[in-house]
Structure 1
Amino acid sequence: MNKVRIGIVGLGNMGSGHAQYLIEGQVKGAELTAVSDINPKRLKLAKEQWGDRVLTFESPEALFRSGAVDGILLCTPHYDHPRQAIDAFSCGLHVLVEKPAGVYTQQVREMNEAAAASGKVYGIMYNQRSNPLYVKLRELISSGELGEIRRTNWIITNWYRSQAYYNSGGWRATWGGEGGGVLINQDPHQLDLWQWTTGLMPKRIRAFCSFGKHRDIEVENDVTAYAEYENGATGVFVTSTYEAPGTNRFEISGDRGKIVIEDDKMTFWRLRELESEFNRTNTNAWGQPEIWKCEIPVASGGAQHKEITQNWTDAIMGGTPLLAPGEDGIKGLTLSNAMLLSTWTDNWVSLPIDEDVFYDKLQEQILFSANGKR
């Protein structure tokens, strides 16, 4: 294989963006050879832009069975990802899926199983995993530099969306169209990074979601969640889409100090010795550990979407390990499902969640929505 022939399913904002850098040859070893979309206007525009260079198909199924591609990049609505990925795997194709992996973990688990059975390369577009800030954070934590994690706190409220945004598409902010709100649409990257950088998944979650707060929508747009971990650590995740100005601050406290990421900078308040060791030996009633404030240098770069696509291409061509394996998509989705389920049941939710209960609760929301209820 000299090049990986890539097909894109869905030519909305994300699909068109991926298509552009592929057409421009910015991914070594990859070539955009086909696209599909159910909207005839988008296919017409693709033909006008790219002519005979790229084949167009009116359905994903036709594209999968065309023999024109080796791998598929799925940029379709959330609910469609698992079904289309499973179909693509059955046709012997590699798959790279846009985030989120799906709407509920039950369907994503089926997608993961199909991927494993196919033996094909399966990735997810977690482009923030290429962000040098979070790469460095993960390195510092995994190396033990921060010590055992004790607390995490992420405030991510700079997802401002006006009512005009929600009014721009009938599928937006609906249970039947998107399957959720800020957790499924805006926050998949943060929910992924929360567990990817720390290496921790909670043992249980208690969350409080508000639906249509300050906006005329039916899904969650304000969330405060509290997580507990097996090692005794705790975490808080706060997000919304109506605050202006918003905040994006990720704080991780460990036995060796505290790391804060904010305004695209990383600061490490590092203790000279482990807090646990200081506490064991200290005899001064008012003593405190010595603290060094360190501005952590972070490399420039991080090609975001292109880097994930390049990595996926390299994995197909030569077996390069994936930065964002598709199987990881279920982890962040588990967190968002747990937060919604906790709110719907007004109770703690243990992980792994009861997938059948979540599915039934989601169907209730879709039914209420169809009947004009909130």
Structure 2
Amino acid sequence: MIKNEAKKTINIGVVGLGNIAQQHISNILERKVAGACVSAVCSRDQNALSLHYKQTHNINHYTHYQDLVNAKEVDAVIIATPTMSHFEIAKYALEQNVHVMLEKPIGLSSYEGEVLLSCQSSKTVFALMLNQRTDPVFAKMKDIVDSGLLGNIQRTHWTMTNWFRPEIYYQVSDWRATWKGEGGGLLVNQAIHNLDVFQWICGLPNKIKAFCEFGKYHNIEVEDEVTAFLRYPNGATGLFIGSTGEAPGINRFDIIGDKASLMFNSGRLSLCTNSVSTAEFSQQTDDMFGMPDTDKENIEIEEAVNQHAVIMSNFVAAIDKNEELIAPAADGLASLDIANAMLLSTWQNTEVSLPLDRSEYQQNLDLKIASSSLRTKSLRKANVDMSASYR
């Protein structure tokens, strides 16, 4: 793709003023996102925070997203609202040819995401905040797998159980961890990042059999634990385990190939390379208990990045300089398909094939939504340290 020189400052409106929205605003105000400024914010009520932005940075406040978009003072919007409103707000912005950066997930379901993508015109940039694609460790893992160094992938395994969330995380929200407000729990909130990176590096499975536990550790109606078995088109197998109920939890991601194995464990990356491929050694050796010689390398990655700022900078550059997106919104369908397939497999107690029948899943989700309601928020005051939320 040919890149052009920068033309102007991109005016951004932020819809929502919750924790993640404030982080995006701070990144832009602190000039960690080149070529962008915040020109407007939107929340249901004007509050001390919005008044602060007006007084300190001359940022206008709106109480309805349509008014913000219609005012024509923004080139793009960041949508950082509860999941249940993603579809409605993004659809309106896209129909007005306003560029959209949408917080994950792309919708309550991949069916909803597919409909939303149909609203995008050739004039608009539509991106998703899949920030973990910029993690230097995961980027290195993808480079290694894509290089063919591992040979044919035989098995994948990610145990991601350090997404622990205490009860207050749910109590102070009326929408979180409800079918009506979020369309799920662990899989569509926390682990959607892992599922995205999983398929981004290893590819999409074609069959999934999952066992989800609903409200096992928390007073919620949606899943807070999952164990899922995967099969890939080349015959490889996989396992994904996630939980928000374990402490301290585990974060280990293994990719086993015929020629080498790649292992990620709590931020540390190692590569074991066979002297000859496993299949070749197995056929040629006369040693009954033999094993190919291996060379182990610990891969040191010292680089640290502001993941959200990198994705936002790329979004701005895509608008202004036609730069290729790191995380186009369409890429959000794959991880959501996997999450939806895991839930459908549990509900139906059967193996689910991919590509997912998105209409079938939506029908099942609609039944859950029909019997779901938002909770009454607790009056307890939660201590919020957003840096502690990232794993």
Kindly provide the amino acid, as one letter, of the partner of residue 99 in structure 1. K
| Offset from partner CA, 1:237-273 (integer Å, 9 cap, x none) | 0011111120011111011121111121101111122
> Superposed, which structure 2 residues align to 1:1-374 within 5 Å?
1-41=7-47, 44-51=48-55, 53-115=58-120, 117-198=121-202, 200-370=203-373
Contact preservation (8 Å) 2:178, 2:373 = no
Which structure 1 residue ranges, 5 or more long, are not aligned? none
SS of residue matched to 1:184: coil
Aligned mates of 1:144, 1:228 — CA distance in 2 = 20
Q: In the alignment, what sits opposite 2:389?
A: none
| Offset from partner CA, 1:164-208 (integer Å, 9 cap, x none) | 22222222211112211101111111010000112x101110000
Instruction: Give me the TM-score of the superposition, normalised by structure 1.
Output: 0.95
SS of residue matched to 2:115: helix
Which shifted more, 246-255 or 164-173? 164-173
Per-residue deviation at 1:211?
0.4
Aligned mates of 2:88, 2:113 — CA distance in 1 = 9
SS of residue matched to 2:12: strand
Aligned mates of 2:302, 2:100 — CA distance in 1 = 30
Contact preservation (8 Å) 1:82, 1:107 = yes
Instruction: Give me the TM-score of the superposition, normalised by structure 2.
Output: 0.91
Aligned mates of 2:123, 2:355 — CA distance in 1 = 26
Per-residue deviation at 1:275?
1.3
Per-residue deviation at 1:75?
0.5
Contact preservation (8 Å) 1:90, 1:118 = no
Aligned mates of 1:277, 1:344 — CA distance in 2 = 42
Which shifted more, 147-156 or 31-40? 31-40
Per-residue deviation at 1:81?
1.6
Kindly provide the amino acid, as one letter, of the partner of residue 313 in structure 2. Q
Kindly provide the amino acid, as one letter, of the partner of residue 39 in structure 2. T
Aligned mates of 1:23, 1:270 — CA distance in 2 = 46
Which shifted more, 91-100 or 161-170? 161-170
Aligned mates of 2:369, 2:86 — CA distance in 1 = 18
SS of residue matched to 1:340: helix
Seq. identity, %: 37
Kindly provide the amino acid, as one letter, of the partner of residue 301 in structure 2. V
Kindly provide the amino acid, as one letter, of the partner of residue 148 in structure 1. N
| RMSD of aligned residue pairs (Cα, Å) | 1.6
Contact preservation (8 Å) 2:178, 2:374 = no
Contact preservation (8 Å) 2:149, 2:260 = no
